Each structure stands twice: as structure tokens, then as C-alpha cells.
Structure 1
Amino acid sequence: MIPGIDHWRLRVLPALLVGGIGGAVFALLHIPLAWMLGALFATTLAALAGFRLDVPNTLRAPLVVVLGVLVGSWFTPDMAGHVGRWWPSLLALVPYIAITTVVTALWFVKAVRYDPITAFFCAAPGGFSEMVLAGERAGGDLRRIALIHAIRVLVAVSLLPGFAWIMEAEGAGSASLSMPVAGPYDLVLLVLCGVVGGTLGAVLRLPAGPLLGGMVVSGAAHMAGLVHGAPPFWSVALAQLVIGAAAGCRFTGTDPRMVLRTLGDSVLSTTLMLLLAGLAAWTLHLLTGLPFPALLLAFIPGGVAETSLIAIVLAIDPAFVATHHILRIAIIVVAVPPAWQLWARLRRPRAGGR
């Protein structure tokens, strides 16, 4: 038996089984986003208990492409007029990211005594993999940066059920898809959109490439009127399961004691980020008249896939939410490492003069 098959049998299939059990339990409890959150919590607990679990990118990426195609289904022909209203909130991402990073980095340095490098790369409101790699290259604490960002996503996503209940109570969204399911002909075209978009996203190394590629190609096809409808709803549940299990598997091989030591720091820093996101969303709502629920979900520092899923489930303009999150990640990936290098160069002469 080749090693690849052993890996799938011993680590991937158990991860999906554990995630599926967690999702089923959460579904029985009628918790919003049951399959994603159930899989996330079940695999996180199993990983911290010492089980070696894994959801490889070869499995996650196609499901993220499906999610991108699904988000692209909201780019309807009559939507072009609405996109023009997004520019104030899209531009606001730049000061939001800058303020959030600086404020959170200062909190890490002053309140919990992190070294400046680790604090800076822990403070970025997104870009999990990129911040870990850039922080390690800069000389930061690799494990701490990875844990802070992993727990940030876990905490932000875990708060989404409460967000979902509030939105449903206020009538801001629906717990089911409002987009009609595509027919057989359209499904074939959607598969083609996914293959082309996912390939382009990977080849061009775009931020959140599989999701962005699938979303752009699917959105273009929908806006041109070539395709109508969305993939079947079961694909959303499957995407929830795989994406949730993949997030939980990030804790495989991590010392539970280190997680506990870092948990408080990450929860408090994530709470600070969420407060800043809420302030930004409310300010933009007052200035632009854009819906507060959509703005809040667009600015929450969670994962692109996870926040897109709740937007789909609650029918809170998934195209608006996904576009903001993808741009947020792109800005962070492009701007944060050079910003650190510039800040470090400016510090050197002053430090040398002491």
C-alpha cells in the first residue's frame, strides 16, 4: 500500500469521520452552520487530544472552488449598479487594516509582553499562512504566530452562530439559500466555471486563489446571463464539513498546554479586532447607508471561506462579503510584510543612537 493511501486511511478519513459526527450532533441541536462548526470543534478537540488528523489541500481546494462558484452565483446581471456602491467600504479596508494591526500589535507588546516582531505579525487581521511565513522570516515566534491566527479564526467563526440567530431574529437574512438551484445544463457550465476558475486562481497565485478564481469566473458567467442558478444546497453542507474539519486539523501535533497559554491572548486580541470591525461597520453604515449586517460580516476577521459560508446560509449578499474578505487578505499579504520592513529600518537608527 503506497504512503499516500495510508495517509488518507489513517489521517484524512478519520478527520472526516470525526468532523461528520460533530456536524451531525450540531445539526441535531439546530445550531446555525452546524456542519462547519460541528466539524471544527470535533476535530479541534480530537487534535488536541493527540489524534493525528489531516485534511489536505487536495481535498479542501475543490470544495473551496465550489464555494467560490456558489458565491459567484450572486453576481446577477442587474447587480452592476449595486457594485458601484461598494467602493467606500472597499476603500475603508485600508485604514481599518492599518488601525487594527497597529492597535492590536501595541496591545500584544504592552499588555502581554510579546516581542515586537511576533506582536506585529500576530496583529494582522487575516492572512493566516502568509503571516506565519513572513513572521518566521522576520525572526518572530513561529508557533505563537500560528496559534494566535488559528485561534483567531476559531473564535471568530465560533461567534457566528450568535450572529446568525441575531440576524434571523431581525429578519436580516434567511437560513436557507434564496438562489434557485441550477438545472442540468447550467450545472455542467458551473463545473466548467469551477475548473477554469480554480486553475487560474492556483496558476496566478491569487489571494484565496481557489475561491477567488471560482467566484470571478462564475460571477462573470452569471452577469453575462450565460448561467442561471447555483450549485445544489448539499454542496454547501459538504463544503462546511471539509472547511470546518480542515480548520480544526491545524491543531494536530500542538501541545495542549501551549494552546491554553496562548488561548487567552488570542481571545482577547480577537475580541479587540471584532470591536474595531463593529465600529468600522457601524461608521460605514451611517455614512453610506449600506446594510450593517453585511458590513459587519464583511469586516469580521474570520476566514474567507467561513465568512462566505455564513453569508450564503443567511443570504446576506455573499458577493459583497466575499469581495471584501478577498480584498482584505490581498491588502494584508501585499502590505504587512513591507510595512514591517519599513518600520524595522526606521527603528534601527534610533536604537543605535541610544
Structure 2
Amino acid sequence: MALLGYPTRLTIWSREALVIGLAALGGGLFALFDVPAAWLSGSMLAISIVGMARPLPSLRKPWFDATMLLSGVLIGSAATPEALAASARYPGSLAVMFVGLGAIMLTTGAYLRYVARWSWIDSLLAASPGALAAVISVAQAKGANIGRIAVVQLFRILVLVAILPTIMQMTGSSPPGQLPTVVVAGAGDLLILLVSGLAAGLVFERIGVTAPIILGATLASAVLHGAGLVHGTLPQSIQIAVFVLLGASMGGRVAHVKRSEILALFPLAIGGFFVSVAVAFAFAWPAAWLAGVPYASAMAAFAPGGLEAMAMLAFAMGLDPLYVGAHHLARFMLVGLAMPLIVAKLKAEPPKG
């Protein structure tokens, strides 16, 4: 029996290796041309295109859980003592951001609900500004339509990163600065982060928290970094692997969406992008005044994009990285912790037609 089962296991592993390889190829191609969020967007696009032409197997749950664990460790590493101290220096700006966060989700969610006729759970998850990994994890746990949620979310990130520098230049931002020196955590710190994150995730899973692995890992990483018990983040090679695996997971979901539905998603994604960005930048104006920072810094801090992409964009534009990073970190924590509660009583609707 074992011999009979061996080819099956080998086939599964080989097919998963093919999916990951295709995702890495797409990400590498995008990175070669300096496309924003290259490894994530390129891997997702590659799997989406190939999957629509020929069915590909979805990565199994252990792959997804490992990706969520590493994503949580990576995001939580932004909670350095300096970033937490910066958060304490901008209470007025953070308060405006929290109100703006609710406004973005309500307006963009309402747009998708009443214009696209989506379910509320799909609409709110697609409208969530940033925290993409947490959103996908919640969507997976709730049985939401991950394909169209991922398409709308990733479209917003790509377009935002592509046009935000131009918008900032029009408002008179600071000259481009130097990229920061990334501190890589040592082997001992990495082991502590992974074990602590997994333990917290398993506890969250035990008590029934939605998206437990990424939330547990994020919380554990944030506490350990904030307390100064560990230092540094994941090596770049592991970060790339995380983006490739996440892109492969999302691309696999997109590949299962009907082609007619994908074509219909682009106008909706464009409309949702303008709604969310208009609301975000409207709230960025009073926040900049309260914090005494340039409007360009507030735009980067309030932009409804991913934590990593927006933080790196701030560095590249010579903006205040602590101000921008503190706001995106606080927003991610709020979205990650509140989203499971917001959608807890909502149910995904079965696809129509």
C-alpha cells in the first residue's frame, strides 16, 4: 500500500513545486523590470494567467499556514521601540487615521456592495486598506471569494505604488533619500520569533480566533521587537519566498474565477481605487496639520496600500519613515484584530449564476 501511495505523494509534491516555480519565475521577471511589489504581483499574475489557461493545483494548507506565520513575523518586526515611540508622538494624527480607516471601509465597501452587488463580507474584505495577508487569511477562514478580493486589493496596491510618487512630487515632497540598512535577525532571534509566533497562533486557533496564525505571529513578533528582546527582520531571501508563496496562493484563487468575472472586476477595481484613495487623502490633510509633518508624509501614511510597500516608498521618497511606518503598523494591527470581529457574523454568499 505504501508503494502504491508513493507516486501519489510524489505527484502532489511535483505539482506544488511546479506552481511555486512558476510563481517565482513571474516574480523574478517583474523584479527584473523593477515593477512595484514585484515578487508578490509577478507571482500572482503568473499563476493567474497559467491557471486560467490550464488548471493548476492549489497549495495545501501547510504551505498557507507557513506563509501566514512568516508574514506575521515579518510585519511584526516593524514594531521597533523607535516606531512605537513615534506612535506615541502622533496621537492626533493616529486618531484621524482610525476614523479615516472606518470611512474608507464604509465608502469603498458600500461601493462594491451596491454597485457590484457583492456580499458585505466580500465588499468589506476587498475594501480593507492594506494588511493584505491578514485579509486573505480571514477570507480563507470565512469562505469568502478570495479570487476577486485579491484582484481588487492587489490592483489598488500596484496602482498606488505606481502613481503615488508622482502625486507626492506635485505636492512638493522632500528629495529622495537613502534606503535604510536592513538589520537581519540572527538565527537565535529567528528561532524565538518562529516558535513564539507559532505558539501564539495555535492558542488563537484553539480559542476560535479567525486568521489565527498570522495574528498570533504578528502579535508575538511585535511584542518581542517592541520590548527589545529580539532585533532585526527576516533575511531578504525568506521575504521573497513569503511573497512568492502568498502570490501563488492568491493567484491560484484568481485562476478559479471565471474569465468573464475577471474582466468585470477591472472596472470595479478602478472605481474602488479612486473611492478609497480620495477618502484616504482627504483625511491625510488634517492629520498632517495636527502632526506638523509635510502633506506628502501624511499621504504615504494614509495611502491604502501594504505596510511593506508604503514603508519602502517612504524611504525612497525621503519622507519620515517613523511617521509613515507607525501609521501603517497601527492600521495593520487594527485591521488584523478588528476584521475577524467585523465579519464574524457575516456569511459568504454562494456565487450567482
TM-score bucket of the superposed structures, by smaller chain: 0.7 to 0.9
Indicate which of 178, 184, 196 corresponds to 1:193.
196
Q: CA RMSD in A?
A: 3.7
In 2, the alpha carbon distance for the partners of 1:210 and 1:162 equals 31
Aligned to 2:153: 153
State the 1:59 CA deviation: 1.2
Structure 1 window deviating more from structure 2 (318-327 vs 259-268): it is: 318-327
- State the distance in 1 between where 2:178 and 2:241 align: 19
| CA contact 1:160–1:310 (8 Å) conserved in 2 | no
The aligned residue for residue 48 of structure 1 is 52
1:195: Cα distance to partner?
A: 3.0
Taking a change above 3 Å as real, the CA distance of residues 198 and 109 of structure 1, as seen in their structure-2 partners, is closer
How far did residue 56 of structure 1 move?
3.4
Q: Which residue of 1 aligns with 2:318?
A: none
- Farther-moved stretch of structure 1 (277-286 vs 251-260): 277-286
Q: Give, in angstroms, the shift of residue 284 of structure 1.
A: 1.9
Check the 8 A contact 2:44/2:248 in 1, yes or no.
Answer: yes
Matched, 1:35 2:39: yes
Distance 1:334 1:149 in 2: 18
Could you tell me how far 1:122 is from its partner in structure 2?
4.8
Query: How many angstroms apart in 2 are the aligned matches of 1:210 and 1:286?
Result: 38
Cα offset for 1:29? Answer: 1.4
Q: Which moved more, 1:181-190 or 1:292-301?
A: 292-301
| 1:36–1:244 Cα contact (<8 Å) kept | yes
Secondary structure at the residue paired with 1:19? helix
In 2, are the aligned partners of 1:54 and 1:249 still within 8 Å (CA)? yes
Partner of 2:249: 246
Whole-Å separation in 1 of the counterparts to 2:292 and 2:247: 33
Shift of 1:256: 0.5
Query: For the residues of structure 2 that align with 1:35 and 1:77, how far apart are their CA atoms?
Result: 29
2: CA distance, partners of 1:207 / 1:87: 29
TM-fit CA distance, 1:128 = 5.5
Select 1:23's aligned residue among 22, 27, 30.
27
Among candidates 91, 98, 103, match of residue 99 of structure 1: 103
Residues in 1 aligned to 2:96 and 2:111: alpha-carbon distance in whole angstroms: 22
Aligned to 1:310: 309
Task: Report 1:1-354 matches (<5 A).
Answer: 1=5, 6-10=11-15, 12-85=16-89, 87-92=91-96, 95-104=99-108, 107-108=111-112, 112=115, 114-115=116-117, 118=118, 120-124=120-124, 125-126=127-128, 127=135, 148-162=148-162, 178-206=181-209, 208-289=211-292, 296=299, 299-301=302-304, 307-311=306-310, 313-314=312-313, 316-317=321-322, 318=325, 320-335=327-342
Q: 1:119 to 1:9 in 2, by over 3 A?
A: same
Q: Secondary structure at the match of 1:158?
A: helix
Q: Per-residue displacement from partner, 1:98-117 (whole Å, max 9, x unpaired)?
A: 4334434554577x4x55xx
Whole-Å Cα distance in 2 between the matches of residues 119 and 42 of structure 1? 28
1:28: how far off? 1.7
1:109 & 1:193 partners in 2: Cα distance?
Answer: 39
Gaps of 5+ in 1: 137-141, 341-354
Task: Return the alpha-carbon distance in structure 2 between the equivalents of residues 62 and 47 of structure 1.
Answer: 22
TM-score, scaled to structure 2:
0.73
CA distance change for structure 1 residues 313 and 98 in 2, over 3 Å: closer, same or farther?
closer
Structure 1 position 15, deviation (Å): 1.9
Task: Classify 1:313/1:123 alpha carbon distance in 2 versus 1 (closer, same or farther; 3 Å).
Answer: same
Please state how far the C-alpha of 1:42 moved relative to its aligned partner.
Answer: 1.0
CA–CA distance in structure 2, aligned partners of residues 235 and 312 of structure 1: 18
CA gap 1:310/1:120 in 2 versus in 1, 3 angstroms: same
Once the two structures are TM-superposed, the CA of residue 297 in structure 1 deviates from its matched residue by: 5.2
Label 1:119 to 1:179 Cα distance change in 2 as closer, same or farther (>3 A). Answer: same
> In structure 2, do the counterparts of structure 1 residues 331 and 282 end up closer, same or farther at CA, with 3 Å as the change threshold?
farther
What is the TM-score normalised by the length of structure 1?
0.73
Paired amino acid for 1:179: V
**Is 288-297 or 239-248 further displaced after alignment?**
288-297
Per the TM alignment, residue 78 of structure 1 is displaced from its structure 2 partner at its CA by: 4.5
Query: 1:267 aligns to what SS in structure 2?
Result: helix
- On the 8 A contact 1:72/1:218 being kept in 2, the answer is yes
SS state at 1:181 partner: coil
One-letter code aligned to 2:19: A
Matched with 2:351 is none
Q: Deviations over 1:185-206 (max 9, x none)?
A: 3333333333334434444454
Residues 299 and 206 of structure 1, relative CA distance in 2, 3 Å threshold: farther
Kindly state the Cα deviation for residue 264 of structure 1 after the two structures are TM-superposed.
1.5
Separation in 1 of the partners of 2:222 and 2:280?
27
Distance 1:209 1:299 in 2: 26
1:251 match: secondary structure: helix
